[in-house]
Amino acid sequence: MADPAKLELLNRSGDAGGFEIVQIDSLHAYSAYKPRRLPESDWEVTPQPKSADGTRQFVLRNLRQDSYVLLNAGEYFLWNYFDGRHSLEEIGRAFYVAFGAFDYLLIRQLLGKLYGCGLLESKRLLDFQLNRGAMRDSRWTTRLRWNWMKWCALSLRVPHADRVCSLIYQRGGFLLFHPFTFLLSAAAAVCALALALRFGQNASSFAYFLKARPWLISGVMLATLISASILHVLVHALACKAHGRRVRELGFFLLQGVVPTFYADVTDIFMSSRRARVTVDLAGPMVEVVLGSIAIVAAQAVSAGLGQALLFGVGLALWESALLNLYPFNFLEMDGYNILADLTAMPMLRQQALALIPHLPERLLNFKSLARAEWLQLAYLALCLTSVVIYVIVHIDALRALIHFS
């Protein structure tokens, strides 16, 4: 690491021309630095429910640029001291008294997070200098990481998403969240389930019709699933509006940099209750459940043949899509995972679990020292791995069956 940068100052002692030269290195200045957060009118903070290990996290929102940052209890403590009146040295001492230990790295990491979200008063000029500097780094790992971040950030967005969602919500979207709509949907699902069980007896004849027109069936299925997916994210967004929160984005992106999918950015729901978050999470898959139910009920109404088989197939595909979406253990941040993260009050569960992998042998050897939160992370990892293995095995069998059949 380079030596700390130094500034040489000339301190005048009076009119007689006397002066002294003082050299200040950046580390000395760092401990005397008094970070100043934005004025209180420019941010809001919402405490989250207590997690398994009894700690509480906080979501901090920058109202100026609509960005969010998740703080743990220690970081929240530090944030409260970033009022421009306390130096880092004083803050560190206060932290030590409150928590019994302190490392300047904590402050450095938090400052990085807060600068990144624009929550500290800073010179904008520096952002440009730094970004250019980071790009000049020739290490291939840095470049790879940078490119991966850029790739993951690729997205197509609907302009003015919040305004669009507000309009849709006001012009009838609110009806989706009426208790009567819920009862109607539940009734449709129950009817459809009963019908599906009855249709199960005709599975071979449905398969016959479906195999006869594979291109037509594939096209209809694809179009239905894409349309349902768009409606799915729109209903997530409307549910967010139903709780009076903002929809930041609506669009199309690569989930975890891999799975192309539509999305609604509903981060603002973290400023609301846990119940509100779970409602928003559940609202999306309800679209597939209801549409699937309608398709199966409609299948009953048409005469036996290709139409009936197609409607039944579409209904089942939509239900399966809802189930997949609600399944939390697949390493993807889909609705089921979000519900799990909300219920365990661990909004970064997946990231924390993945970060645990390199330390797994060491942590398992000292398993008695594992905190409850770490047990949850381990359980999540184990269930995800098991699910992926089962998924692969099931699909290998299906592939073999298909090859054998052809």
Partner 1 sequence: MQLVSEFLRNVSFCQDLNEAARSKLAELLISKKISAGAVIFREFDDSDCLYIVKSGRIIISKHVQDQVDIVLTRFHTGDFFGEMGLFDTSPRSATAQTETDSVLLRLDRKAFQQVFSDEPEIAARICYRLVTVFIERLRATNDQAREAIRWGLEATGFSPEPQRSPFGRRST
Write out the binding residues for partner 1, residues 121-140 only, by CB under 8 A.
122-123, 126, 129-130, 133-134
47, 84, 112, 200: which one binds partner 1 (CB under 8 A): 112
Residue carrying the six token digits 């399944």: 327
Backbone torsions φ then ψ of 193, nearest 5 degrees: -65, -45
Q: Which of 38, 69, 311, 353 binds partner 1 (CB under 8 A)?
A: 69
**Considering only 213-221, 228-236, 299-307, 383-391, which stretch makes contact with partner 1 by CB under 8 A?**
228-236
Q: How far is the CB of 269 from partner 1 (least distance, A)?
A: 7
Residue 27 near partner 1 by CB under 8 A: yes
Binds partner 1 (CB under 8 A): choice among 108, 198, 275, 372? 108
Q: Which is nearer to partner 1, 270 or 319 (CB)?
A: 270
Of the candidate residues 45, 168, 221, 255, the single one contacting partner 1 (CB under 8 A): 255
C-alpha distances in angstroms, 99 versus 95, 196, 365? 6, 58, 27
Q: Least distance in Å: CB of 243 to partner 1?
A: 13
Structure tokens at 236: 């997530």
Contact assessment for residue 69 and residue 48, using Cβ atoms and an 8 Å cutoff = no
Question: Judged by CB under 8 A, does residue 113 bind partner 1?
Answer: yes
In 234-369, DSSP assigns E strands to: 249-255, 259-265
Asked if 30 and 88 count as a contact pair (C-beta separation under 8 A), the reply is yes
CB of 51 to partner 1, least distance (A): 15
39 binding partner 1? (CB under 8 A)? no
Q: How far is the CB of 390 from partner 1 (least distance, A)?
A: 22
Among 162, 265, 288, 374, binds partner 1 (CB under 8 A): 265
Q: Give residues 326-365 in contact with partner 1 (rule: CB under 8 A).
A: 333-335, 338, 347-348
Binding partner 1 (rule: CB under 8 A), the pick from 270, 312, 319, 329 is 270
Query: In 103-213, where does DSSP find H-type helix?
Result: 104-116, 124-136, 140-152, 161-170, 179-199, 203-212
CB 46 within 8 A of CB 345: no
The answer to whether 33 contacts partner 1 (rule: CB under 8 A) is yes
Is residue 313 a contact point for partner 1 (CB under 8 A)? no
Residue 261 in the binding site for partner 1 (CB under 8 A): yes
**How many C-beta atoms lie closer than 10 Å to residue 76's C-beta?**
16
325/288 Cα distance (integer angstroms)? 10
User: Alpha-carbon torsion 330, 334, 336, 339, what sign?
Assistant: positive
The answer to whether 21 contacts partner 1 (rule: CB under 8 A) is yes
383: its two tokens:
């269930």
Q: Which is nearer to partner 1, 266 or 353 (CB)?
A: 266
**Does residue 141 belong to the site contacting partner 1 (CB under 8 A)?**
no
State which residue, 90 or 333, has the beta carbon closest to partner 1: 333
Which of 152, 186, 231, 278 binds partner 1 (CB under 8 A)? It is 152
Quote the CA–CA distance of 243 and 275 in Å, as a whole number: 10
Residue 80 to residues 50, 284, 332, 340, 343: CA-CA distances in angstroms? 19, 37, 34, 30, 27
Number of residues interacting with partner 1: please give it, by CB under 8 A. Answer: 73
Nearer to partner 1, 233 or 311 (CB): 233
Query: Is residue 67 near partner 1 by the rule CB under 8 A?
Result: yes
**Dmax of the chain from CA atoms?**
106
Asked whether 302 and 311 are in contact (CB, 8 A), the reply is: yes
The phi, psi pair for 213, rounded to 5°, reads: -130, 65
Minimum CB distance to partner 1 smaller for 173 or for 347? 347
Min separation Cβ 184 and partner 1, Å:
23
